[in-house]
């Protein structure tokens, strides 16, 4: 009896590939690809305030949403303190939260779908949960925290829950715009208020105080800051299209969707969209479980005491709570960044396709019709 022919198996390629996938998965946190040893900054429930130093990072993306060439702001090779991006919630069968390709100024099938449905007369209340929501990434070092090491963490939080308040504070006191600087920066005392949404509670920023740091950071700290432009996992147009439209049970499209289509792709019109759960107020992700350290090693501080300055007359102590000037509501006709009439010219101009005010503008237009 002849022995069976030995079957070949490329274990080498398969085992190496599997090892890489496991490593990548272990370092992933949702849509974040975290460098080894870097953790997500999360706030323990009921915490009333946190102290953080926001450390800038070196921008690498040509498509940074904060880029402004006249000021050399957020252009590749410069330092910037945040990475704005957009997400869609409730995507696919598993209700995933995914990064919108608009975060790198690319076309997004979900945004296109929402735009087409609104143009066809869909109700805004029906579509608003599908729109892209603004979030930001920050590299932060918690200060005097019982729950965090004084090391760099990645803070992923919605625009609504933190950055809007920070913007208000910087408008009130422009001198505090130096807060991310390594030498002259400030420690942010973020005061929180807790709100309940369904069964979950979330922390919203109610006030921010800018405190003098007791030490300065060396330039070497920048080598430890992750590139916030590259840790976002952004699906391709095709991947997001298939995930969003969930082709199972529908006729397959006859034409393959290109990665960056020149013309808008016709979407399946017969699909009944699964009802998306009401959006939570950008709740903080649960903290990733930490691995047991083999041996606790005390790391040298990367900050050095500030050089004593000349003694000056003490300024009057500022109250901890500041009364902000009342904000005048902007006229809607002045809100269009391209000089057109807000709430009237929406969808009429070429600039509307990539305008940050598009959602509010189309909603205003619908109110007037």
- What are the pLDDT digits (tens) for 153-200? 999 999 999 999 999 999 999 999 999 999 999 999 999 999 887 777
Question: What percent of the chain has pLDDT above 70?
Answer: 67
- What are the pLDDT digits (tens) for 41-76? 999 988 999 999 999 999 999 999 999 999 999 999
Whole-number CA gyration radius for the chain: 24
Residue 307 banded pLDDT, cuts 50, 70, 90 = low
Integer Cα distance of 183 and 306 in angstroms: 8
Assign 303 to helix, strand or coil: strand
| pLDDT the model gives residue 357 | 78
Q: What is the mean pLDDT of residues 89-107?
A: 92
| pLDDT the model gives residue 279 | 45
Q: What are the contacts of 188-193 at 24+ separation with CB within 8 A? A: 188/51, 188/52, 188/53, 188/54, 189/49, 189/50, 189/51, 190/49, 190/50, 190/51, 190/52, 190/162, 191/48, 191/49, 192/43, 192/47, 192/48, 192/49, 192/50
Q: Is 224 exposed, middle or buried (0-12, 13-18, 19+ CB in 10 A)?
A: middle
Task: Report how far apart, in Å, the C-alpha atoms of 289 and of each of 29, 38, 42, 322 are.
Answer: 11, 12, 12, 38
Element containing residue 251 per DSSP (H, E): none
Task: Report how far apart, in Å, the C-alpha atoms of 104 and of each of 66, 67, 113, 296 are.
Answer: 11, 11, 19, 39
- What are the pLDDT digits (tens) for 12-33? 666 666 555 545 443 455 899 9
| pLDDT the model gives residue 337 | 79
CA angle (243, 246, 250) in 5-degree steps: 150
Q: State the alpha helices, DSSP H only, in 109-220.
A: 109-119, 124-127, 164-172
* pTM summary value: 0.65
> What is the set of domains in the chain, with CATH numbers?
29-246+257-265 (3.90.198.10), 330-369 (no CATH)
Q: What is the mean pLDDT of residues 323-347?
A: 62
Integer Cα distance of 20 and 26 in angstroms: 10
Identify any residues that bridge with 188 across adjacent strands, giving them in sequence order: 52, 210
| pLDDT the model gives residue 304 | 66
Is residue 277 scored above 50 in pLDDT? Answer: no
Assign 62 to helix, strand or coil: coil
| pLDDT the model gives residue 10 | 62
- What are the pLDDT digits (tens) for 227-259? 999 999 999 999 999 999 874 433 344 344 444
Identify any residues that bridge with 73 across adjacent strands, giving them in sequence order: 68
- Supply φ then ψ for residue 50, to 5 degrees: -130, 150
The answer to whether the CB of 226 falls within 8 A of the CB of 183 is: no
| pLDDT the model gives residue 272 | 39
More confident residue, 224 or 23: 224
More confident residue, 340 or 135: 135
| pLDDT the model gives residue 345 | 76
More confident residue, 37 or 313: 37
């Amino acid at each position: 009896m002849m022995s069976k022919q030995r079957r070949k198996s490329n274990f080498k390629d398969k085992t190496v590939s599997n090892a890489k996938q496991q490593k990548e998965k272990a370092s992933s946190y949702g849509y974040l690809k975290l460098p080894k040893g870097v953790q997500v900054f999360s706030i323990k429930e009921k915490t009333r305030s946190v102290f953080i130093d926001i450390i800038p990072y070196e921008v690498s993306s040509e498509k940074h949403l904060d880029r402004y060439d006249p000021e050399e702001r957020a252009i590749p090779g410069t330092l910037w303190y945040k990475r704005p991006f957009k997400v869609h919630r409730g995507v696919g069968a598993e209700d995933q939260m995914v990064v919108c390709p608009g975060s790198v100024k690319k076309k997004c099938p979900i945004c296109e779908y929402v735009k087409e449905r609104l143009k066809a007369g869909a109700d805004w209340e029906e579509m608003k949960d599908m729109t892209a929501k603004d979030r930001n990434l920050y590299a932060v070092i918690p200060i005097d925290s019982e729950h965090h090491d004084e090391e760099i963490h990645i803070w992923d939080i919605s625009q609504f829950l933190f950055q809007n308040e920070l913007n208000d504070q910087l408008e009130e006191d422009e001198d505090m715009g130096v807060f991310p600087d390594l030498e002259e920066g400030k420690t942010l005392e973020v005061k929180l208020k807790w709100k309940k949404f369904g069964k979950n509670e979330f922390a919203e920023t109610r006030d921010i105080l800018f405190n003098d740091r007791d030490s300065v950071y060396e330039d070497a700290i920048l080598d430890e800051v992750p590139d916030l432009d590259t840790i976002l996992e952004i699906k391709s147009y095709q991947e997001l299209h298939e995930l969003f439209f969930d082709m199972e049970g529908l006729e397959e499209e006859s034409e393959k969707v290109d990665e960056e289509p020149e013309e808008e792709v016709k979407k399946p019109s017969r699909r009944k969209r699964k009802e998306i759960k009401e959006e939570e107020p950008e709740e903080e992700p649960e903290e990733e479980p930490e691995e047991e350290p083999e041996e606790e090693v005390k790391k040298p501080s990367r900050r050095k005491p500030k050089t004593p300055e000349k003694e000056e007359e003490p300024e009057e102590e500022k109250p901890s709570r500041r009364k902000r000037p009342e904000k005048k509501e902007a006229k809607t006709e002045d809100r269009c960044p391209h000089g057109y009439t807000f709430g009237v010219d929406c969808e009429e101009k070429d600039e509307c396709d990539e305008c940050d005010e598009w959602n509010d503008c189309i909603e205003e237009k619908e109110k007037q019709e």
